[in-house]
Amino acid sequence: MSNIDNYLRGRVEEVRRMVVNLEHSVSQVGQQVAVVGVEQAQTRSELAQLRADFANYVRQAQLAANLQRAETRLGALQGQLEYEFGHYKVVRRTAVGMLQAFDIGLVSEEAVRAIGEELMVQTPRYWLAPVLVALAAWAGDEEDLCRRAVEEAYRRSPSRTCLFMALVLRRQGRRDSAVRWLRHYLDAQDPAALGRDFAVILEAISQGAFGPSGLELVQRYLDRWRAQLLTDDTVTEAQVARWRTGIDAYVVTFANASAFPRLAAVSPQWPTLLQVLSMAEAQKSLLSTYEAMFAEEYQPTDRLEDAVDDILDRLVDEYDPEELPLRKELAFNEAVIAHGGDVDHATKVVAADAAAMESTLDYLTVQTTSALNPDAIGVSRPTQRLAVAACHDWLGQAHARFARDYRASVPPNIEAAFASSHNVAAKAFQLPRWVGSFSQPLDVLERSLSEHWDRYTAPFIASLAFNKKKWIGPLATFFGALLLISLCTNSFLAGFAVGLIAGGIWALVLLSEQSGATRRQEEARTFLGRAKQDSITQLRAARGELTDWQRRYEVADQLEAQVRELIATLPSRGNAPLPYESRVVLPGDEASFSFQARS
């Protein structure tokens, strides 16, 4: 029995060592599983970053390709414009230069006439070429040739010819004749389909180029056209919509995108909050833009001739209708280049200015375009100010809708939401979604979030505890079989000894399992406790950022009243005295061109 006892003791010790090794191996496996979980999360993160980097690479490659295509196309378009319409530039430069040459008398009549006739031959169908012949004939006192040249120019482009002659006569101090040409021009206009040259009328008004009588005449027509067009509600709505688009251009969302990182991470309403704040802060840009516009002091030139020459430059430099398709494509490619190859953004920019590139516009759209995009229609800053003042009603309606929309978009209930998953002790833990409202006190939210964590972490940690029940069945089966064998073999002592040894082994295994389960529970409790505390910290930080957001929103929204007051004062600000209103007309003003354009 002693030998058997020693043998059994050795076997028990060997089993104990095996149990210790097994426990160590299980611990190592647990650590390896945890490492695998970390590496898996890291791999997911790296894959997500790789995906983002690849998407960014594809995006940058696409932008680069778009940019290259736009630059190539831009060069081709510029070459095509130069080839097809480049000769127009010579005529345009010559027109005003010829008038200035008359002023200083340094060019002979023969030279002027030769240039005019040469350009007439080189630029068939262009309205300005016969105008040059008319100017040369006028200088040479050749009435018949002058009349026929003006009639030809009128045939090619009635509107521009009328405007050109009105401006030239006004430049020469022949006010009555200039007003007659101006009246003839206005009589021929359709307020629902004005040519692009009509912007020159607005420019002439802002510069006072036609004097008080011309201003009174133009204002009478404009008032009638405005009343006529405003009878159609859809026309008015279209102008308000364009002004709303112009106001929306002041909204810069990306400026606030990273200002509230924790609020953005936990609040489902963050996209709305970001848009609302960005729209409210556009009030400051609106206020500063229009205050600066009307605070500028415009210093007109001392000479009427110089002012009219500037207007004539705008008239003759205006694109012809046949150029517009190429000009539109040119503008699109320039926008693509300006925005780094972003075709979508370029398309939106060009679409916003699409009206300025149309061959005809209604009078209200001309005003709106002059106010919102003066460069696209070719008018100066003073003209833009007059247009803004004239459009104050539409601007006011668009601004009211703008403020109404972002105020109505403020979420009535701003929430925080938490839901996370973790790999703890080689087992996945999923925290169900928790949602709390920031309308509640912070301590209430923290307590609710803490209880939510406890509610779901407690069962998870308990599930890691040592489960005695799963060992009862195997133990009962083993000892039942051992008892049955002992009874059948009539060897109770041997059965008892084997049962004692087996019981010791089972006890060691159970103690090891219980110790491992306790350790895993403690690790899970510590890990999930840190995750819980991190969630509470994020909740506190998000609440603080929400307070900052509310403060910034209130400060920005308070400027809405100032913008509204500014818009209400625009009509009076736009009625500043015009240049040359009190200019004394030189003697001979009663003289006029001896011909009248045929209708």
Is the pLDDT at 472 greater than 80? The verdict is no
Is the pLDDT at 312 greater than 90? The verdict is no
Report the pLDDT value the prediction gives residue 595, as an integer from 0 to 100.
34
For 523-543, give the DSSP string: HHHHHHHHHHHHHHHHHHHHH
Q: Name the region of 130 (left: φ>0; alpha: ψ -120 to 50; beta: rest).
A: alpha
Nearest to 398 by CA among 239, 279, 288: 239
Is the pLDDT at 403 greater than 90? The verdict is yes
Least confident stretch, 186-195, 388-397, 483-492: 483-492
Confidence of residue 350 (pLDDT cuts 50, 70, 90): confident
The β-bridge partners of 164 are: none
Token pair belonging to 232? 């159609």
- Interacting residues of 57 by C-beta distance below 8 A, sequence separation 6+: none
Report the pLDDT value the prediction gives residue 591, as an integer from 0 to 100.
35
Q: How far is CA 173 from the centre of its chain?
A: 49
List of long-range contacts for 473-482, beta carbons under 8 Å, 24+ apart: 475/506, 478/502, 478/506
Is the pLDDT at 546 greater than 90? The verdict is yes
Least confident stretch, 34-38, 263-267, 380-384: 34-38
Report the pLDDT value the prediction gives residue 9, as an integer from 0 to 100.
63
Report the pLDDT value the prediction gives residue 578, as an integer from 0 to 100.
47
C-alpha dist (Å) from residue 483 to 167, 496, 504, 506: 125, 9, 17, 17
Token pair belonging to 220? 């009478």
Token pair belonging to 533? 């505390």
Is the pLDDT at 589 greater than 50? The verdict is no
Distance CA 596, CA 211 (A): 21
Is the pLDDT at 308 greater than 60? The verdict is yes
Distance CA 332, CA 350 (A): 6
Distance CA 85, CA 15 (A): 100
Q: Mean pLDDT: which of 61-70, 114-123, 312-321 is highest?
A: 61-70
Is the pLDDT at 313 greater than 70? The verdict is yes
Q: Is the dihedral of CA 111, 117, 122, 128 positive or negative?
A: positive
- Which whole number is the average pLDDT over 135-160? 86
Question: What is the three-class DSSP state of 214?
Answer: helix
Q: Could you state, in order of their start, the residue ranges of all structural domains in the chain?
A: 420-556
Residue identified by tokens 């045929």 is 598
Element (H, E) at 420: strand 415-424
Report the pLDDT value the prediction gives residue 36, as an integer from 0 to 100.
61
Token pair belonging to 495? 């059965």
Q: Mean pLDDT: which of 48-57, 240-249, 304-313 is highest?
A: 240-249
Least confident stretch, 243-247, 269-273, 365-369, 578-582: 578-582
Least confident stretch, 37-51, 106-120, 262-276, 307-321: 37-51
Continuous H helices in 127-256? 128-139, 143-156, 158-171, 175-187, 199-207, 211-229, 233-248
DSSP state of 342: -
Report the pLDDT value the prediction gives residue 67, as an integer from 0 to 100.
87
Report the pLDDT value the prediction gives residue 278, as an integer from 0 to 100.
92
Report the pLDDT value the prediction gives residue 586, as an integer from 0 to 100.
38
Report the pLDDT value the prediction gives residue 374, as an integer from 0 to 100.
85
Confidence of residue 503 (pLDDT cuts 50, 70, 90): low
Residue identified by tokens 């105020």 is 407
Element (H, E) at 437: strand 427-437
Averaged pLDDT score across all residues of the chain: 78
Is the pLDDT at 559 greater than 90? The verdict is yes
Report the pLDDT value the prediction gives residue 5, as an integer from 0 to 100.
57
Q: How far is CA 152 from the centre of its chain?
A: 48
C-alpha dist (Å) from residue 288 to 382, 484, 563: 17, 98, 9
pLDDT (tens digit per residue) in 415-457: 999 887 777 766 778 888 899 999 999 999 999 998 988 888 8
Q: Name the region of 211 (left: φ>0; alpha: ψ -120 to 50; beta: rest).
A: left
The β-bridge partners of 360 are: 195
Higher pLDDT, 473 or 182: 182
Quote the percentage of the chain above a pLDDT of 90. Answer: 19
Distance CA 597, CA 163 (A): 12
Longest dimension (CA), the chain: 151
Q: What is the CA radius of gyration of the chain?
A: 43
- pTM metric for this prediction: 0.69
Report the pLDDT value the prediction gives residue 97, as an integer from 0 to 100.
78
- Which whole number is the average pLDDT over 255-273? 87
pLDDT (tens digit per residue) in 230-246: 888 888 898 999 999 88
Is the pLDDT at 560 greater than 90? The verdict is yes
Report the pLDDT value the prediction gives residue 402, as an integer from 0 to 100.
96
Report the pLDDT value the prediction gives residue 59, as an integer from 0 to 100.
79
CB distance 211 to 585 below 8 Å = yes
How many other C-beta atoms lie within 10 A of the C-beta of residue 87?
15
Report the pLDDT value the prediction gives residue 483, as an integer from 0 to 100.
56
CB distance 266 to 538 below 8 Å = yes
Distance CA 242, CA 232 (A): 16
